[in-house]
Amino acid sequence: MRRLILASASPRRRQLLEMLGLKYELSPADVDESAEGAPREQALLLAGRKAEAAALGRRDGLILAADTLVDVDGQALGKPKDEAEACGMLARLAGSWHLVHTGMCLLDAKTGKSLLKTVTARVRMGDLSAEEIHAYVRSGEPMDKAGAYGIQGLGGSLVEEIEGDYFAVMGLSLFALRSMLKEMGFSVFKL
């Protein structure tokens, strides 16, 4: 059985792999997160960049990397730099629809073969008052999340509706991951 290596420091991605009962090695990749192009393309490019960085010096293992971006009218919202930026992002998202793109890369360090996939979901944020936005930001939860909210935590109470893959909004599409692993000869299900 090949080793699965998660090239991410995200506690949410670790939680999702553990939900599937997958054993993995943690090897966060520190890469330049600036990218050009449409948000969907940026998410995929960054996932690939992270997988390649984690693969350096490795001779085996399946490296999984992902990147999630919020897309508002073609503009990517990543993680906020500070509380003021988080408040601005949330004010922009309040009462409207946006897209969440999660780019995923699965790279076989032995062969160099890689699979790339982007999963997109549509999310409607409910109406939010300035007081609610400030209170949520003060909770600290939005500071390490694309678009300044986490659907799996307190931020889930801000989301009115979602169309698509909930887990992609959380940071890793489980369906796409299972399909990608299967294509690489790695089964999620223990037979």
pLDDT in tens, 84-117: 999 999 999 999 999 999 999 999 999 999 999 9
Distance, CA of 34 to CA of 43 (rounded, Å): 10
What are the structure tokens assigned to 84, written together?
Answer: 């003021």
Which pLDDT does position 95 carry in this prediction? 97
Query: What are the domain boundaries of the chain?
Result: 4-183
From 60, 67, 71, 127, active-site residue? 67
pTM (2 decimals)?
Answer: 0.93
Whether 2 contacts 61, CB under 8 Å: yes
More confident call, 178 vs 36: 178
Banded pLDDT at 190 (limits 50, 70, 90): low
Which pLDDT does position 191 carry in this prediction? 46
- Mean pLDDT, range 19-25, rounded to an integer: 92
From residue 172, give the alpha-carbon distance in Å to each of 86, 94, 128, 132, 139: 22, 24, 27, 28, 24
User: Is pLDDT above 90 for 2?
Assistant: no
More confident call, 2 vs 15: 15
Computed over every residue of the chain, the mean pLDDT equals 94
Quick check: is 67 catalytic? yes
User: Is pLDDT above 70 for 72?
Assistant: yes
Banded pLDDT at 187 (limits 50, 70, 90): confident
Span 4-183 CATH architecture: Alpha-Beta Complex (3.90)
Q: How many CB atoms lie within 10 A of CB 20?
A: 14
Whether 100 contacts 71, CB under 8 Å: yes
- State CA 99 to chain mean position distance: 13
Q: Give the model confidence (pLDDT) of 134-159 as tens digits.
A: 999 999 999 989 999 999 999 999 99
